[in-house]
Amino acid sequence: MKNKILLSIAIFFLIFCFIILFKSLNNSNVYVPESISGKPLINFDSQDLFSTIKISSDQIFVDSEFYILNIWASWCLPCRTEHPYLMEFNKNSSIKLIGLNYKDNPDSAKKFINKFGNPYSVNIVDLNGTISIKLGAYGVPETFLINKERKILKKIIGPLNKKLVKEINLIIK
C-alpha cells in the first residue's frame, strides 16, 4: 500500500515536471520586464550620424504625437528584414522615427542608409552602447514606441514583423 502511494506521488511529480517543461518550450527565452510600459523615457545626449552635431533628447522628442525609437546597426542582419516596415512607418505623419545607431562604423551606417533608404527623421549614434543600456535595451534591433508625453508605450525586442506592426498601429489609433 505504502509503495503504491509513493509510486503514485512519483508519477504525479514526473507528470507535473513534464507539463512545466513542455509549456516552457513555447515561451520566448527573452525576458521582458513588464514594468517598462508607461515608464518615462530617459534624457540623453548624443550626436547626429550625418552632421556629427551634438544633440540632446530634449531637442529630438518634440513636435510629434508618437515617436518610434529604433536601435539599429549596419552589421545587424535582422535590421535589414525590418527596414521595409520602418519605411512604411515613415509615411505616417503622426509618427516621428528616430534611429539610434548602435556600436557601428559611421561610414558603414551611412552606406546602409543610402542603400536601403532613410526612414528616420533623426539618426543619432551610440558608439559605446551606453545610451541603449540606459534605455533598458538588450541589443539590436530593438524598437520603442513613445507617446508625446515621452512615456514608453511598447518595447519590442528583435526585428519588427507584420504582427508587431499591426499591434503598433492599433496603439496609435
Partner 1 sequence: MKTKKFFLILLVILNFKILYAIEPNNEILKNKILKNIRCLICQGQSVYDSQSDFAISMKLVIDQKINEGLSESEIYDYLKDQYGQWISYDPEFNKKTFILWGLPILLFVIGGVIVSKKLIILK
* Contacting residues toward partner 1, per CB under 8 A: 31-35, 103, 128-130, 132-136, 138-139
Find the DSSP H helices in 42-141: 57-60, 77-89, 106-116, 130-135
Least distance from partner 1 to the Cβ atom of residue 63, Å: 27
Q: Toward partner 1, which CB reaches closer, 106 or 158?
A: 158
Beta strands in 39-169 (DSSP E): 45-48, 54-56, 66-72, 95-102, 122-126, 142-147, 152-157
Least distance from partner 1 to the Cβ atom of residue 122, Å: 21
Q: Toward partner 1, which CB reaches closer, 26 or 29?
A: 29
Q: Toward partner 1, which CB reaches closer, 87 or 127?
A: 127
Q: Toward partner 1, which CB reaches closer, 5 or 170?
A: 5
C-alpha cell at 20: 512545466
- Spatial separation of the C-alpha atoms in residues 122 and 100, rounded to whole Å: 9
Give me the helix-helix angle, 162-172 and 77-89, nearest 10°: 30
Least distance from partner 1 to the Cβ atom of residue 58, Å: 20
Residue type, 44: F
Least distance from partner 1 to the Cβ atom of residue 14, Å: 17
